[in-house]
Chains A and B, each alone.
Chain A
């Protein structure tokens, strides 16, 4: 006879642990199954975790959690072949009230999982879930390599590749144009050098997004950790495929950009990783509930690619999933009707409201990749022409700049792009 829990959570990442913590805290019996040797072992991200959402479970967590640096500066880089234009926002308010922290997931996630464990959840590592167990069309548990486990509700928080939600028929495979492949290196650079190169105080960090360094829809990213730099690049799989270039080659080109190289100079590679990001937005969000099962985090495709948010959507969806199951247990009813509250509450929360607000954006950028290629080049060319001093009259130079711009994108095209950008965000 298989053991039965109020809930079995598949995946020990931010979504799964938030769900497990929420349920265990009020006394539900919760089992978390993690396939890695420990939580975080399979996880990679840009990236940051956010104070606001993490504090809902652990007030002032940065005092004990293995965080790297709090972000005080957000940089936007527009790269061209051998130049860049940098727009940056630094604010002392981020020193007063922390906004986000860079972390290493293999260190942060085990700490985070302790919260759920201390609340009473049972976490079993090194356990891969092979399939859901269904009875009369209802999910009643999961099959694992160590045997079957039964649950009133299974929470699939098994990440972007979520085999479980596909097996349960709640999600399709990620389409090529909604899947971004991120390749990342963790590069060790002495703490003091990081602070010099990025002009940072002892615990201060910088987060950077870089466009114009790859084919089609792509973005580079760079995060300062305590004594490492996370440098990575994400490319939409459809555009990667079309480019006929290899991900590691694209990454190397990016890393060798003359504006990037000095930042990681003399650094020592510590780890090379790759992960998918589900960037399809609202229209690709999974069917998040069925009888006896909920889907949370990346598994449900809850990523806001516009604001670089993911861990907070994961944690919040986990908390709401947990609360939905607590309510269902009170009613003794785990039907999809009761569990549909989960979707309802996600729709009311920032998770799906933000994604809905940006609903058209992923499709728009996906079919207009020139925003990632043409504009970064154009911005750099114009910046160069504006600054170079060579005896040319300004009236001629401005004429040349206009000609240059209109050669790259017609007046109609520029107006169309401006109009669309306005529409998409308003």
Chain B
């Protein structure tokens, strides 16, 4: 490609290899806290892969985009975070 189009996050994630689990390894511990989020939605802002969104008065989680960096967990203690089950989640080809 000679024209350097800016790739969107979904474009970029399309290049990655994932094995998606049926259940999320991310969750919000207390969704009520999000209604008056003291961190100005840091989970949404710091995530490099757009996992979090604010939809219909709650934070939604597209866990299958997660590259397991952990930034959301550092930015907000209301984020529940565990390792995906063995073999699931991101599986880098390069790294």
Given A128-B84, A181-B48, CB of A37 within 8 Å of CB of B91: yes
- Contact at A127–B86, with CB atoms within 8 Å? yes
A308 to chain B minimum Cβ distance, whole angstroms, is 17
Contacts of B4 in A (CB 8 A): 261, 265-266
Q: Is the CB of B74 within 8 A of A173?
A: yes
Chain B 46-60 near chain A by CB (<8 Å), digits 1 or 0? 111110000000000
A160 within 8 A of B: yes
* Complex contact B95–A43 (CB within 8 A): yes
Q: A45 with B95: in contact, given A161-B70, A247-B46 (CB under 8 Å)? A: yes
Tell me if A42 and B42 are in contact (CB < 8 A). no
CB of A273 within 8 Å of the partner chain: yes
A228 touching B12 by the CB < 8 A rule? no
B contact residues around A40 at 8 Å (CB): 92, 95
Within 8 A of B (CB), among A23-37: 35-37
User: What is the distance, in angstroms, from A59's C-beta to the closest C-beta of chain B?
Assistant: 25
By DSSP majority rule, is chain B's interface helix, strand, loop, or mixed? loop
- Report whether B71 and A181 are in contact in the complex, using a CB–CB cutoff of 8 Å: yes
A192 to B42, CA, bound (A): 42
The 0/1 profile, CB within 8 Å of A marked 1, for residues 37-50 of chain B is: 00110100111111
Q: Chain A binding site: helix, strand, loop or mixed by DSSP?
A: mixed
Are A273 and B92 in contact, with the CB atoms below 8 A?
A: yes
Do A266 and B84 touch (CB < 8 A)?
no
How many A-B contacts are there with CB distance less than 8 Å?
151
| Residues from chain A with Cβ under 8 Å of B50 in the complex | 248
- Expressed in whole angstroms, the Cα–Cα distance for A320 and B70 within the complex equals 28
B-contacting residues, A227-257, CB 8 Å: 228, 230, 237, 240-241, 244-248, 251-252, 256
**What range describes how many residues of A lie at the interface?**
35 or more
Contact B82 A237, beta carbon cutoff 8 Å: no
Instruction: Report the count of interface residues on B (CB-CB < 8 A).
Output: 44
> Of all chain B residues, which has the CB nearest A38?
B91
Pick from A41, A176, A244, A265: contact of B45, CB under 8 Å: A244
Say yes or no: A181-B68 contact (C-beta < 8 A), given A37-B87, A273-B16. no
| A401-B71 Cα distance, complex, nearest whole Å | 41
> CB-defined interface of B63-74 with A at 8 Å, one 1/0 digit per residue?
000011111011
Closest-by-CB residue of B relative to A164 is: B83
Docked complex Cα distance between A128 and B87 (Å): 8
Which residue of A35, A241, A265 contacts B83 across the interface (Cβ within 8 Å)? A35
Q: Are A237 and B74 in contact (CB under 8 A)?
A: yes
Contact B12 A185 (CB under 8 A): yes
Q: Is the CB of A241 within 8 A of B45?
A: yes
Contacting pair A271 B86 (CB below 8 A):
no
Closest to A251 in B: B48
A68 CB, nearest partner CB in chain B, Å: 10
Given contacts A45-B95, A104-B95, A37 and B74 within 8 Å (CB-CB): no
Contact A42 B85 (CB under 8 A): no
Q: Is A337 an interface residue (CB 8 A)?
A: no
Contacts A40-B92, A42-B92, A174-B74 given; does A271 touch B46 at CB 8 Å = no
Nearest chain A CB to B39 CB, angstrom units: 8
A126 within 8 Å of B by Cβ? yes
Q: For residue B75, which residues in chain A have a CB less than 8 angstroms away from its CB?
A: 176, 237, 241
Residues from chain A with a CB closer than 8 A to the CB of B40 are 244
Q: Mark each residue of chain A from 28 to 64: 1 if its CB lies under 8 Å from any CB of chain B, else 0.
A: 0000000111001111110000000000000000000
Beyond contacts A230-B94, A272-B12: 12 other A-B pairs, Cβ-Cβ < 8 A, are A35-B86, A105-B94, A107-B95, A161-B70, A174-B74, A183-B48, A241-B75, A265-B4, A270-B93, A273-B94, A274-B48, A276-B71
Q: List 17 A-B contacts (CB under 8 A).
A: A41-B92, A105-B95, A107-B95, A125-B87, A128-B84, A163-B83, A173-B73, A181-B46, A230-B94, A237-B75, A247-B46, A248-B50, A252-B6, A266-B2, A270-B94, A274-B71, A276-B71
Shortest 10 CB-CB distances between A and B: which pairs? Answer: A126-B87, A105-B95, A272-B12, A126-B86, A106-B95, A274-B48, A274-B69, A247-B48, A186-B94, A127-B86
